[in-house]
Every structure is written in C-alpha cells, then in structure tokens.
Structure 1
Amino acid sequence: MNRSRLAPIYRGGGARYLIDTCQPQIEAVRQGKISLHALTKGHYPGLAMEPSVLPGLNSIGFWDAKCAQDWGLEEHRNEGIEITFLETGAMAFTVDQRRFDLHAGSLTVTRPWQLHKLGAPHIGPGRLHWLILDVGVRRPNQEWQWPRWIMLQRRDREELTRLLRHNENPVWTAPVRVARVFRDLAQCILQWNQPHSASRMAIEINQLLLELLGFLSAQPMEDNPALVSRRRAVELFLNDLARNPASAGDRWTLKGMASHCGMGITAFSQYCRELVNSGPVDFLNQCRLGHAARQLREQPHRTVTEIAFANGFNSSQYFATAFRRRFHATPHDFRQQTGPVRPQAGGRGDRPAG
C-alpha cells in the first residue's frame, strides 16, 4: 500500500489544521529550550530514518523540558495513530476542543482524524515520549492496515483495532508495564546506531502494542461501532467546516466534498441532511458567512473584500448580498455593530458561494 498518497481527512488551507509541522518544537530545540531525541521520516523533527526501515513508523522520540516553556504546539492531525506517554511533569492537552490536564503517568492515544494540541497555550515542564504509526487510514470508516512487522496474531490485531476504533477516549493513566516499554524505547532511540537497533525497536513497539491491548481490554469501555461509520466521517467533516475558517474557505465543490469523505454525492448529501438539516452547499455557505462575520468584528484592519475572498467567495458583490440576507445588514454596517455573532447553522436558500 502506498501510504504517502493518503490525504488527511480535511485539506484545510490554514497550517494549524494540517498535518503537524512541528515548527515551534524545532525552534525550541534550536534555541536550547528543550532536549529532543527522535527518529523520523518526512517533516517530523529528529534523526532521519530510511523509508524502508520499519515502514509506517513516521516518528518516535522523547523530549525533556526542564521548565515551563514559552511555546506550544498548534492544533494538528497526524499521519497515523499517535501514542504519547508523559513520564514526568504536567501540561495541558486538548483533543477535539476538550481539554485534559496531563500529569506524570498520563497516556494519550489520538487517531489520525482527531484534532489535538499540547499546551494552553504553552508547554509545561516534563519528559514526553511519543510514537506515530501509520495504519493506512485518514477517516474513521476506513479499514486499518497494520505494518507487516507488527507481529501480533490476527485475532489480537483485530481486537486492538476494534478497541481503538470503537472508542475515542484520548487520555488514560498508563500502567507500569506500558511506562517501562516507553523507557526501553527511549534507550533504543539513544542507541540507534548500534547493531540490530531496528530489530530491537520493532520488538519494543510490538511489546508496547501488546501491553496496550491488555490494558484497554481490561477497561470498562463502551463499544460504539457508530464511531467508524460513514456517517461519522461526514459529521467530522462538517464539524471542521464549522470550526475552521481555513477548511471552509477552500474551493470546495459538491463532488469534491463527497469524494473527500470517501463516498458519492447522493450518500454524502443524505448524511449531511440528516446531520444539519441542510444541503452540503447551503451548510458550507452558512459556515463561510459565520466565519466572515466574526472576522469583520475581530480583524478591523482587513477589508471586506479580503475577508470575502479568504472565506471562499469569488465575488465581493455576491458576498455582500449573501451576508445581508443572513445578517440583515451590510458587511460594513455589521462591522460597526456590537453583540455576539450567531453560530453557524445549516441554513437554506443561499446559492453556492462564488
């Protein structure tokens, strides 16, 4: 399978909603604010690994922050499932707009479609371990494909996959055996240039997954198959349009939105109607107008035309017409008003933006 050709579930034009660039982390290392030891493929920071070595392992490493930092990671998604372990310290962690306060011993699991960040807004002190493993999915309804060097028996792989797919709880308290494996993985990273290091790394990662399977199997979790449905993929996409101006501002077509969620136009439109009581294009327009309304109030230095184009409108005249229909005021008059902006809703009656 060619994993490099898998696109993230949402294209969002703004960097904060794309795959993690790790730029704040890279800059912190450069300035000596943290010490970092990592192995990487692609854009992640660390010592480069050959693509043929442990295929699917995109990044593995740990950092030490001896004191509270003046930087944090932006919201992002990863090219794979990410497992982290906070060995010492404390820091804030946000997943899909839910905040968690991590402490020493916290274990986190995020899926490729889950938007998350560390810091609120800054990173706290601590030693953080992580692993990003590509299982060939970007949407919750896709079938997981574990790398061939994962040695769990088929039944165990299927059970671990089910536990991770049917439950999206992101934070746990790590058992002692999981913590120990992460420490052993740190030693593998430090000794990467020694003989047989890749084999040792493969064994430790398999051990980690086995320990994770045993731990999750013992937890009282609700099994929710709806989390891996096609409807769930559409729900996540619509939520992203509503929350992320960069995603809503992309040059979407109806066919493009449906294809991005992995289905045809008819099924996509039906799920959209069920979820927001609106057609896809109408909902997209309402999201764009809502984002534009907030930007008019919060970004007075930008012109109306700039805001219109940034939110996916090809014509400032059409934007003004659609805006007045929605908010009963011109963009200029609305900017002068006070009061909260109504949240996006799946309204009806607007033509496609453009």
Structure 2
Amino acid sequence: MSKALATEGRYFFFEDLINAKSMAGSKHYHNTFELYFLEEGECHYFIDNKLYHVEAGDLVLIPEGTLHKTVYPEKRRARTLINCSRHYIPADVMDKLPPLLHLYRNPTLVPQLRALLGQIREEYRHPDALSESVLTAQLHLLFYTLVRHAEGCLSISPLPPYIEQAVAHIKAHYAESVTLSDTARIISVSPEHLSRLFKKETGFGFSEYLTMLRLQRAEAMLKSEPHLKISAVAFACGFNDSNYFSEKFKRVYGFSPIKLRQKSDTYRGIS
C-alpha cells in the first residue's frame, strides 16, 4: 500500500495498480490535482460533464474538486496515479493548464512520459531528507514537458451528446428540482433511454450523479461560508430536508457537515 507524503500545506501520493479491485472506479473527487497515466488497457473516464475513452499511453489531468469516475472493461489494465497539492505545479504553468484538461493524448511523448514517471516512482519508493524537493522538481519537469509538447496532442472524438447535455442541465439547475423525466424532455429523449445511457456511459445513475454534485457543492459552501447554517447550505444545494442532507453527507464522507466545519476551522488555525 502506497503512503502519501504530507507536510503542512503539501500533499503527494503515487500509486501503481494492475487489475486491482480498487480500480473498479468509485465516484469521487479530491482536494488535490490528479494525474492518471494508463499504462495498459482501456477505460471510460467520466470527468465533470465530459466522458472520455482512455487508451494506453493517455494521460488524464483532473483539477481539484472535479467529480470523476473510471469504468473498466473486463480486460487486463495497468495504471499509474499521482495526487498532489498545487505546491507541485509550477506557478507559470497554471494559466496554461486549462487547454490541456482533461485528456492529454500525444503518442510521440509516451516514452518520455514513462521515463519521467519512472523517475518519480523511484524517488517516491526510496525517500530521504531531500525527496520532497526532488519530487517537486520532477513534477515541475513533468508539467513543463506537457505544456511544451501540447501542440502535438491529438484531437478527441466527440462524445455522446445526450450525456453532455444532461449533465450540463444538472450542473446549471442542481439547486432546483431536477428530475430524470424533465431532463429527458428538455433534451428530447425518453426517460428510459436517458436512464440506461447515462448509467452505461458514466457508471453513475442519474440520481447518483445529481446527489454527488449537490454534496460537492455543499462541501465547498460549508468551507467557504462558515457562518451559514447547515440547513441553509442544504437548501441552497438542492436538498429539501436538512436532516436527509446531513445523513447523506455523513454516509458519503464518513463524518457530518458540522465535523467538516470543525476540521476546516482547525486547518485554518494551523495555517
């Protein structure tokens, strides 16, 4: 089991997996930046309101707080995963990252990416007093390499439009009453067809995605507006019952909305 390197305000995690059950792909998001390199196999990657077919040699770049899920076919697969705080991303690369999100496909760069990831892997597995500085330099080099070779990226084929339209509608109206039937009517498909296609392509049920998005927005609001009542946060994010919201939040996160605020207050006090 890989162990994260964490110091105040900094976080770095590296992991290789081959055909592991944990690769089944639970829906989640992080407070860190994610780099996902598919070494072997293929998968569907649902990121925010986009669906991508990821092939061996592809690199997936996911910003903090972005809901995502992987769906793997029953084939051999291997991947490398990095989660890191912004400390590991060069400041002068930040404004150049958006065009590179989410799927980075540049076949000519794959050997160089594998070599860079191999160096990071070795440093991570054999840490010493200088490892944090070395890993920072290695990640900086990786990001600079991605930006420098961005023009060589291949264009990505368009994805099923119904899914993108449905997710865009959910994102725009999550604070209101959103139903499968209303969404299907707006994009001119039957509810049954939308339900099947949504689950097949994303790995999420329609209601699952809506709830996860609402919880994600609620988490951000709980942190950014500490004086707002829990019930007000719940209603602002589309939950009609604050008790149901608290129960759902605890089931997903493992702690209550109040506990999240206590954790956030503690972190602010330390920093």
Q: 1:63 aligns to what?
A: 16
Partner of 2:7: 51
The answer to whether the 8 Å contact 2:34/2:82 transfers is: yes
195, 210, 216: which one pairs with 1:244?
210
Out of 116, 119, 126, the position equivalent to 1:184 is 119
Q: Deviations over 1:126-155 (max 9, x none)?
A: 3321222223xxxxxxxxxxx2x76x5xxx
Given that residues 106 and 154 in structure 2 are in contact (C-alpha distance below 8 angstroms), is that contact kept between their aligned partners in structure 1? no
Give the alignment of 1:1-354 within 5 angstroms.
Answer: 36=1, 38-40=2-4, 49-51=5-7, 55-56=9-10, 58-65=11-18, 67=19, 69=21, 72-120=24-72, 125-135=76-86, 147=87, 157-158=91-92, 160-165=93-98, 168-173=101-106, 175=109, 176-192=111-127, 194=128, 196-216=130-150, 219=153, 238=172, 240-241=174-175, 242=178, 243-245=209-211, 248=214, 310=244
How big is the alpha-carbon RMSD for the aligned residues of Structure 1 and Structure 2? 4.1
Match for 2:85: what amino acid?
A: D
SS in 1 for 2:25: coil
Which secondary structure does the structure 1 equivalent of 2:29 belong to?
coil
**Structure 1 unmatched ranges of 5 or more:** 1-35, 41-48, 136-146, 222-234, 261-280, 290-306, 313-354
Cα distance in 1, alignment partners of residues 147 and 46 from structure 2: 24
SS of 1:84's equivalent in the other structure is strand
CA gap 1:163/1:245 in 2 versus in 1, 3 angstroms: same
Residues 161-211 of structure 1 show CA distances to partners (whole Å, capped at 9, x for unaligned) of 12223564434246132221011111112222x564334323211211111
Larger Rg: 1
CA distance in 2, matches of 1:239, 1:124: 37
Shift of 1:51: 0.9
C-alpha contact 2:106 2:152 (8 A) present in aligned 1:
no
Question: Could you tell me how far apart the structure 2 residues matched to 1:186 and 1:128 are?
Answer: 13
1:45 is matched with which residue? none
Name structure 2 gaps, 5 residues minimum. 156-168, 179-208, 226-234, 247-271
- Name the count of aligned residue pairs: 188
Q: How far does residue 94 in structure 1 lie from its aligned partner after superposition? A: 1.5
* Counterpart-to-counterpart distance in 1, 2:61 and 2:152: 16
Q: TM-score, normalised by structure 1?
A: 0.42
